[in-house]
Structure 1
Amino acid sequence: MFERSVEEQELKWQWAGHIARRTDGRWGLKVLEWRPRTEKRSVSRPARRWTDDIRRVAASRWRQASQDRGLWNSLRKTFVQQWTSIG
């Protein structure tokens, strides 16, 4: 089970980089950044978003970091390592 979790995190990181590098205007990146405006938020901690884990490692400029594949691949190791230290 532990190996599967690591593999899932690697795939998540690779997919985020793939989507962020796209320039064809498709909806993938728009979905990642979408924030609903009409819903009322409950009184609690803000919902955790898919990109929150990415931002924890690559900071708020993660889309720019993904353009440099060498940097992105080195950050992948850090991203996956945070999950191995939790487990």
Structure 2
Amino acid sequence: MERSMIGVTKRDRIRSEDIRSITKVEDIIKKIRQLKWRWTGHMTRDSRIKWTKILTEWQPRDGTRKIGRQAKRYMDAIRKIGEATWSRKARDREEWKRLEQAYVSQDTLISLG
């Protein structure tokens, strides 16, 4: 879409980052990661018991997923940056905000998980 906005094709061999700096369009993958990180912090800090929190923290009884299911869960990417104590870190807004940058700036070639 951004290439068509400025009339550039793949044959012109211009990098996506360069095109993004011209069009000033925000990287959608980074925006999705930022929103996911913020929602997780918001959900964790909420003291009420909600179904979103229960489903996010749910673990299957046998610990494995069925064949054909995705290998990663919603929280796997959060645990990768926030480590095992991610829920404790989420309660500290300043710490959580600092970790947000590390989560958002991960290599964009890695799947969202």
Q: Judge same fold: TM > 0.5, yes or no.
A: yes
Q: For structure 1, which runs of at least 5 residues remain unmatched after alignment? A: none
Contact 2:33/2:104 (8 A) holds in 1: yes
Distance 1:71 1:41, change over 3 A: closer
User: Are 2:26 and 1:16 equivalent residues in the alignment?
Assistant: no
- Please state whether the residue corresponding to 1:82 is helix, strand or coil: coil
Runs of 5+ in structure 2 lacking a partner? 2-25
1:42–1:26 CA distance, 2 compared to 1 (3 A): closer
- How many residues align structurally? 85
Q: Which runs of 4+ in 1 moved over 3 A?
A: 40-44
- Given candidates 72, 81, 89, the residue that maps to 1:65 is 89
**CA shift for structure 1 position 60:** 1.1
Partner Cα separation in structure 1 for residue 37 and residue 102 of structure 2: 11
**1 or 2, which has the higher helix percentage?**
1
Which structure: larger Rg? 2
When residues 26 and 53 of structure 1 are mapped into structure 2, their CA distance, relative to the original with a 3 A threshold, is: same
CA distance in 1, matches of 2:73, 2:65: 14
Cα deviation for residue 83 of structure 1 reads: 3.5
Identity %: 32
TM-score in terms of structure 1 length: 0.81
Find out whether 1:25 has 2:49 as its counterpart. Answer: yes
Structure showing greater relative contact order (alpha-carbon pairs closer than 8 Å, 6 or more residues apart) = 1
Aligned to 1:74: 98
2:41–2:90 Cα contact (<8 Å) kept: yes
- What is the TM-score normalised by the length of structure 2? 0.64
Q: How large is the RMSD of aligned CA atoms in angstroms?
A: 2.8
